[in-house]
A and B are shown apart, each in its own frame.
Chain A
Amino acid sequence: MRIPALLRLPPRRLLALAFPWFVACSPKGDEKPVIGLITKTASNPFFVKMKEGAEQAAAAQGATLIAAAGRSDGDNAGQVTAIENLMAAGAKAILISASDSKAIVPAIKKARDAGILVIALDSPTDPVDATDALFATDNYKAGQLIGQYAKARLGATPAKIATLDLIPGHPTGAQRHNGFLSGFGLPSYEKTRNELAQPPEVVCMTDAMGDQAKGQTAMENCLQAHPDINVVYTVNEPSAAGAFNALKNAGKEKGVLIVSVDGSCRGVQNVVDGALTATAQQYPLRMAELGVEAAMTFIKTATKASGYVDTGVQLIAKDTVAGVASLGAEKALGLCWGDK
């Protein structure tokens, strides 16, 4: 009974399974212009929203949007592959949120040398002028807004600050961190520097990679060393949620200010519920719409977008304080992104 084993070889099964599946769901390509969108991951709600916005905008303008992503934040090789494949797919413009601001630069250069418009969305490359244009949140300003708010809320009490940062050397993480310190009125670095400032008021500075579980662990460790921390800055809302859990488990959630950046629906809801003191809301949908618009302008008229376009940021807080303008959390829920 040797022969029947032949029937169990992979190709037949591949045929049986793969073919009807793809034939059924694959529209034949037409001659619409192709715009590529490369995000850091395909699962982060921020990028999901960005992709939705880009798909809608592209459809409205009569273009095809091809989305690709790295497998995890920091997956540079995956993004390089995505750029190459989009070039092979004939994309005229590529919108990219770079996972690794430096490492992606040679691949972007190849695309631009081939006459493709490359626009950075959300995250700048290093150097910034490696892309034609940057459509992003002013992360330094976002940091300043929550810094000013935290300072106003804390008043004259001496600050003991914990910062849960992104990863070393990442411009977005550095700008938010240094902006926060500058808004708080502490000595900090300027916008262009990729290192993190650490004035003596920052008693605990640690990388949580924007992750909730890592944020919780980081905050627990900070509290072990400094039980009297009264301000927590986090680079994004998942790490803020982790920090809140750690504070709650230690019975310290009442007296500590937690500030963050993002403005996701879950984050804004946390502001409503009091699990997050304030956040700076950014607008991925707007980045995507502006990006597709610039791509279409380039495809139709060969005019390239250039420079930096601020896609806006607003301070969201439950309690207003004098001298710092903020948007109520209920209103911000109407502008948020991701699952509610």
Chain B
Amino acid sequence: MIVRRLAYAGPLVALLLACTFFALQSPRFLTGANLSLVLQQVMVVGVLAIGQTLVILTGGIDLACGMIMALGSITMSLLAVKHGWHPAVAIAGGMSVTTLAGMVNGLLVTRIKLPPFIVTLGTMNIAFAVTQLVSRAQTFTDLPPLLTWLGHGVRMGNTPIAYGALAMLLLYGFAFVLLRETAAGRHVYAVGNNLESARLAGINTNRLLLSVYMLSGLCAGVAALLSIARTGVGDPQSGQTENLDTVTAVVLGGTSLFGGRGIVVGSLVGALIVGVFRNGLTLMGVSSVYQILVTGVLVILAVATDQWSRKS
């Protein structure tokens, strides 16, 4: 038990080591403003990774989350800019669309019993195509202020903290409590460990899986709003690499790809590890290709660690 607890601390130690290293390399790294910037840079992937963690904990995978996010951000900006809806209603509209997309994933997985990998591979392409069609592949600019509000923030001394980053931290806190303290949260682990025995133990596995995929869709909706806030535009080309970025974050955070094991806060640490390397290497003047290289190495290390600790 103690070993397992420590295993969860592994990613955090890795993050702290990386931070120490970059702090020694560049005087600009360890400033409040820079660390807040990193937090802001990972908020989109971070929020998507919450949904991804839930899905992976049940033994599934959501390859569509990035594209569903793009669909959500286009829906929001289209409704607000082109149709002149009130921004708040447009945001609600976008989130409904992404949650609905998550529901479609969940229904296909639970009712038609298709493997999540295939289902979300399909809906990923569908969401991309619909995004392009609906937006006519055009970027939306001049968005109402409410849509980009999360990109603004409060100042704590010299450190600006984006509302979006705070929202992400809040969502992680919420997900942490949900998984740890509620029956539904424990059921997520149970389903991931063994679907059949979870069902025999009286858990309504279909309903649970459906809600997990819907929650992932809702996370994509929040991420859509964050993505708009970060870039200031509704971009139909966004979200193309986010699906695997979230899987990277989840795996780096120590959650097992086989389901049933992991903690959601680890995924935030995973996303931060990628963000810290990207930021730190740029500050050092090292080409961004190395960031991708390091991420690759870390992912393999993280999964290998998971495998080894399973055997022991």
Binding site for B on A (CB under 8 A): 1-6, 8-11, 13-15, 17-19, 22, 25-26, 28-29, 34, 42, 64-69, 71-72, 74-77, 80-82, 84-86, 88-90, 99-100, 102-103, 105-107, 167-169
Of the candidates B137, B233, B289, B302, the one whose C-beta lies within 8 Å of that of A10 is B302
Whether A6 lies near B3 (C-beta < 8 A) is: yes
Complex alpha-carbon distance, A102 and B279, angstroms: 24
How many chain B residues have a CB neighbour from A under 8 Å?
56
Residues of A within 8 A of B232 (CB): 105-107
| Nearest 7 interchain pairs by C-beta | A106-B232, A85-B282, A11-B13, A168-B137, A102-B139, A9-B10, A74-B237
Contact with A along B255-287 (1 / 0, CB 8 A): 000000000000000000000001100111111
Residues of A within 8 A of B41 (CB): 81, 84
Residues of A within 8 A of B40 (CB): 84
Complex alpha-carbon distance, A13 and B7, angstroms: 13
Whether A89 lies near B285 (C-beta < 8 A) is: yes
Task: Given the known inter-chain contacts A22-B21, A100-B235, A102-B141, please indicate yes or no for A6 contacting B230, CB distance below 8 A.
Answer: no
Q: Does B14 interact with chain A (Cβ within 8 Å)?
A: yes
Complex alpha-carbon distance, A74 and B232, angstroms: 16
Whether B26 lies near A13 (C-beta < 8 A) is: no
Which candidate, B88-96, B107-115, B293-301, is the interface stretch facing chain A?
B293-301
Q: Is the interface of B mostly helix, strand, loop or mixed?
A: helix
Can you name 13 extra interface pairs (CB under 8 A) apart from A77-B230, A89-B28, A168-B138?
A6-B6, A10-B13, A13-B301, A17-B301, A18-B21, A28-B25, A29-B25, A29-B284, A34-B285, A42-B287, A42-B288, A80-B230, A99-B237
Q: List 26 A-B contacts (CB under 8 A).
A: A5-B308, A9-B10, A9-B13, A10-B298, A10-B301, A17-B297, A29-B25, A42-B287, A66-B285, A71-B241, A72-B241, A76-B238, A77-B235, A80-B231, A84-B40, A86-B282, A88-B279, A88-B283, A89-B282, A90-B28, A103-B141, A103-B233, A103-B235, A103-B237, A167-B137, A169-B139
Most chain B C-beta atoms within 10 Å of own C-beta, residue among A19, A25, A29, A75: A29
Residues of B within 8 A of A17 (CB): 297, 301
Q: Does B248 interact with chain A (Cβ within 8 Å)?
A: no
Contact with A along B11-45 (1 / 0, CB 8 A): 10110011001000111100001100100110010
Complex alpha-carbon distance, A173 and B240, angstroms: 21
Which of chain A's residues has its CB closest to B312's CB?
A: A5
Which of chain A's residues has its CB closest to B12's CB?
A: A11
Residues of B within 8 A of A29 (CB): 25-27, 284-285
Most chain B C-beta atoms within 10 Å of own C-beta, residue among A26, A76, A88: A88
Whether B241 lies near A75 (C-beta < 8 A) is: yes
Whether B139 lies near A103 (C-beta < 8 A) is: yes
Within 8 A of A (CB), among B89-143: 136-139, 141
Residues of A within 8 A of B289 (CB): 42
Which of chain A's residues has its CB closest to B40's CB?
A: A84
Q: Does B309 interact with chain A (Cβ within 8 Å)?
A: yes
Task: Given the known inter-chain contacts A72-B241, A75-B241, A105-B141, please indicate yes or no for A15 contacting B17, CB distance below 8 A.
Answer: yes
Complex alpha-carbon distance, A28 and B308, angstroms: 37
Complex alpha-carbon distance, A68 and B287, angstroms: 6
Q: Does B305 interact with chain A (Cβ within 8 Å)?
A: yes
- Tell me, rounded to whole Å, the shortest Cβ–Cβ distance linking B32 to chain A: 12
